[in-house]
Amino acid sequence: MRIDVFTLFPDWFDWFKTQRHVTNAMALGSSLECVDYREHTPLNWGQVDDTPFGGGAGMVLRVDVVEAALRARYGEDPVATRERRRVIALTPGGRMLDDGVVEELAAEPELTLLCGRYEGFDERILDHFCSDQLSIGRYVLAGGELAAMVVCDAVLRKLPGALGHVESAREESFSAALGGAPEYPHYTRPADWRGWEVPGVLLSGHHARIRDWRHEQSRARAGTGEDDSLS
Ligand code: 6GU
């Protein structure tokens, strides 16, 4: 998986790139590279945004600046780039990220993530350069960078080997292996703390019964989760 993130704050990703599942994914051949819009702007003094036509608050990321950055990276008209790789803008109103979307993205060989700032993107960026728009929730962040990190985190940990333990990503909350249900509860030592005991079945060593119990717990949680009431 090769991920390119276009941003005005590439150094925000320095910390993220030190995270274990990210370094694991890199060691296994994936890449996460940042492109700084400001380094490619055709305008003076590093200008990347401008005031909105029609008036109003805030600044809007310019279409010519994003085109220059995409061209510099891919050596072609960005209108063509989106035909051959997913070019995803992070926007608060985009398609909502969930486990299904993450699986879909994890199956791609290459991803491009575009972060906006301030009031967002000139609409022509979304219309002509992007294949998708993604959101991580119905609230507004100051920019797409944190959302891009959420997408990278969720996608990279799906890749084989990224977690160290293959089964960890398969049977987890909201995964198809659990029928889209939340995960079952986990316990570790001590088995008894202040009289709060770990369910006996988990200490039984009986693998089939443990598996049944876990799936039962997962199903029970699906019925009582808050997700249903929100939609
Ligand atoms: Cl993807 N971007 C911004 N700026 N805010 C958001 C978001 C994205 N998802 C939720 N809020």
Does the beta carbon of 141 lie inside 6 Å of ligand 1? yes
Does the beta carbon of 135 lie inside 6 Å of ligand 1? yes
Per-residue pLDDT band for 227 (boundaries 50, 70, 90) equals very low
pLDDT of residue 171 exceeding 90, the answer is no
User: What are 172-215's pLDDT values in tens digits?
Assistant: 777 877 777 788 999 999 999 999 999 999 999 999 999 999 99
What integer pLDDT is reported at residue 166 of this predicted model?
57
Residue with tokens 């959101």: 135
Q: DSSP letters along 159-190, please?
A: STTTTSSHHHHHSSTT-GGGTTPPPPP---S-
Per-residue pLDDT band for 118 (boundaries 50, 70, 90) equals low
Q: Which is nearest to 96 in space by CA: 212, 4, 230?
A: 230
Cα(47)–Cα(8) distance, integer angstroms: 11
Does the beta carbon of 90 lie inside 6 Å of ligand 1? yes
Tell me how crowded residue 51 is: count the other CB atoms within 10 A of its CB.
12
pLDDT of residue 229 exceeding 50, the answer is no
Range in 143-147, 160-164, 166-170 the model is least confident about: 166-170
Cα(231)–Cα(217) distance, integer angstroms: 23
Q: What is the mean pLDDT of residues 61-79?
A: 98
pLDDT of residue 169 exceeding 80, the answer is no
Distance 131 CA to ligand 1 centre (A): 17
Q: What is the mean pLDDT of residues 122-138?
A: 97
Does the beta carbon of 92 lie inside 6 Å of ligand 1? yes
Per-residue pLDDT band for 160 (boundaries 50, 70, 90) equals confident
Cα(89)–Cα(116) distance, integer angstroms: 8
Q: Which residues lie closer than 8 Å to 217 by C-beta, 6 or more apart?
A: 184, 185
User: What are 81-106's pLDDT values in tens digits?
Assistant: 999 999 999 999 999 999 999 999 99
Q: What is the mean pLDDT of residues 9-34?
A: 96
pLDDT of residue 167 exceeding 90, the answer is no
Q: What percent of the chain has pLDDT over 90?
A: 81
Average pLDDT across the chain, whole number = 92
Pocket test for ligand 1, best of 117, 141, 150 (most atoms within 8 A of CB): 141
Distance 106 CA to ligand 1 centre (A): 20
What integer pLDDT is reported at residue 226 of this predicted model?
45
Distance 208 CA to ligand 1 centre (A): 43
Pocket test for ligand 1, best of 113, 126, 140, 150 (most atoms within 8 A of CB): 140
Read off the amino acid at residue 96. M
Pocket test for ligand 1, best of 5, 9, 91 (most atoms within 8 A of CB): 91
Cα(122)–Cα(64) distance, integer angstroms: 10
pLDDT of residue 218 exceeding 70, the answer is yes
Q: What percent of the chain has pLDDT over 70?
A: 93
Q: pTM for the complete prediction?
A: 0.90
Q: What is the mean pLDDT of residues 133-145?
A: 95
Per-residue pLDDT band for 129 (boundaries 50, 70, 90) equals very high
